[in-house]
């Protein structure tokens, strides 16, 4: 596996006779056309990289009141790597074993209060921003993503194609254009 952590970087992973290439959509298309002109695209997908308030993934019990429910999220583009850390921590937790990293990644760890204020301010600004494109989920202003050619909701992660078709939720329907 090869991982490039730069802003427009690509990652490669071989699986059988397939080469999995990940990165920004248009970067991928240009790369594949130049380096693998005879290749056939078999599958493609889009993802959203959730980031926790302190940029450290949440791995562990969902909450103190939900016994047996665990979460692993906020990987910030490091899903293949952090999935292994998650597996180690979660497997220890479900077996009632102590894991030395559980507290670092705990979803109930303290979060810097200033970041909560910043996030609240950004959500309010998004709701009050004049725009013709609004997310049907809760009305946040959509932002155009020039790399993916999608309309993305910065509040809760819904994504829409150029023509308004829903790609991903929590929005339940297409945009009204």
Q: Are 166 and 173 in contact (CB under 8 A)?
A: yes
Residue with the larger pLDDT of the pair 101 and 130: 101
Confidence of residue 156 (pLDDT cuts 50, 70, 90): confident
Give, as one character, the DSSP assignment of residue 27: H
Does domain 113-168 correspond to CATH entry 3.40.50.970?
no
Q: How many residues are present in the chain? A: 177
Task: Kindly report which listed range (27-36, 58-67, 88-97) carries the lowest average pLDDT score.
Answer: 27-36
Average pLDDT, the chain: 83
Domain residue spans of the chain: 2-35, 58-105, 113-168
User: Looking at residue 81, what is its pLDDT?
Assistant: 79
Tell me the mean pLDDT in the region 35-58.
78
- What is residue 96's three-state secondary structure? coil
- Closest by CA to 125, choosing from 141, 143, 114, is 141
Residues 6, 126: Cα–Cα separation, whole Å: 28
């Amino acid at each position: 596996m090869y991982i490039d952590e730069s802003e427009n970087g690509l990652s490669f992973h071989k699986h059988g006779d397939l080469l999995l290439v990940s990165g920004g959509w248009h970067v991928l298309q240009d790369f594949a056309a130049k380096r693998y002109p005879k290749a056939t695209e078999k599958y493609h997908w889009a993802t959203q990289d959730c980031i926790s308030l302190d940029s450290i993934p949440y791995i562990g019990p969902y909450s103190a009141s939900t016994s047996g429910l665990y979460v692993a999220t906020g990987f910030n583009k490091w899903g293949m790597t952090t999935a292994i850390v998650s597996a180690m921590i979660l497997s220890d937790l479900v077996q009632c074993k102590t894991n030395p990293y559980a507290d670092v990644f705990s979803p109930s760890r303290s979060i810097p209060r200033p970041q909560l204020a910043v996030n609240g301010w950004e959500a309010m600004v998004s709701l009050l921003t004049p725009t013709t494109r609004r997310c049907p989920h809760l009305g946040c202003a959509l932002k155009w993503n020039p790399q993916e050619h999608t309309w993305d909701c910065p509040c809760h992660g819904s994504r829409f194609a150029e023509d308004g078709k829903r790609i991903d939720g929590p929005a339940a329907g297409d945009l009204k254009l």
